[in-house]
Amino acid sequence: MIAAAITDVGKVREINEDNYCIDENQVGLYMVADGMGGHKSGEVASSIAINIIKEHITHYLTEEFQEQSVKGVIFEAFNRANKEIYNRSKEDFDCEGMGTTVTMVLIIDKRVYIGHIGDSRAYLLREEVLQQITEDHSLVAELVRNGSITEREAMRHPQKNIITRSLGTDENLKVDIFSMDLNKGDILILCTDGLTNFVDKEELKKAVLEEDDCFESCSNLVSLANQRGGYDNITVLIVKDQPTFTEGR
């Protein structure tokens, strides 16, 4: 696999509350997270989530696990992170109300496992067709699904930042976990809404296909979001099914 990622504070925010992970030591583990909450607590939430999920999965998973066992480990990892963030928000006044999105891809033996909560996204680019494979847990996504607004209208909707599920804001965790086959030449793209609120699917697809280098694609996408205002933190992570990894911060 070839993977690259960039996270950028954007042009308006003072603190980058996004986070990401690339870990290819035992299995292929890739994550993005978008924290929320005042007084730097969003940064705390996304960091807790990334670190706990990474630690749990790399500790418990090997390539010998059966599919249901893998999904169980993913749930346990998200649940541990959820409890830690929730408890911290109750115990520390500065962290009150904090939470985070998490979108995770785990690749084991040509099988892709996805864990997802919030409105960060995972896309699959297969044979030049781009498909969003996660479902946004947000108010505007529900409006799109019931036909009230279009996807383009959702990008400019005044309530586009209201999410309906996140990690750490509720004791009871509801996380999407599913799996799919990885085909030769597949490209997976993980990103936070600092990208998808300003860059549409066709532009995303074009940026990935135009460059052979994953890092250049990430850089071009971040630049495009910043050119359009950079109103939020921006994180993009690209994974290609090829035999090195580059990151930028």
Structural domains in the chain plus CATH codes: 2-248 (3.60.40.10)
Sheet containing 99-108: give its strands across.
18-23, 28-36, 99-108, 111-117, 176-181
Residues 149-185 as b/e (b if ≥16 CB within 10 A, e otherwise) read beeeebbebeebeebebbbbbeeebebebebeebeee
Q: What is the pTM of this model?
A: 0.92
Q: What is the pLDDT of residues 179-200, one digit of tens each?
A: 999 999 999 999 999 999 999 9
Q: How confident is the model at residue 140 (pLDDT cuts 50, 70, 90)?
A: confident
Task: Name the residue with higher pLDDT: 9 or 110.
Answer: 9
* Per-residue confidence (pLDDT) for residue 162, from 0 to 100: 87
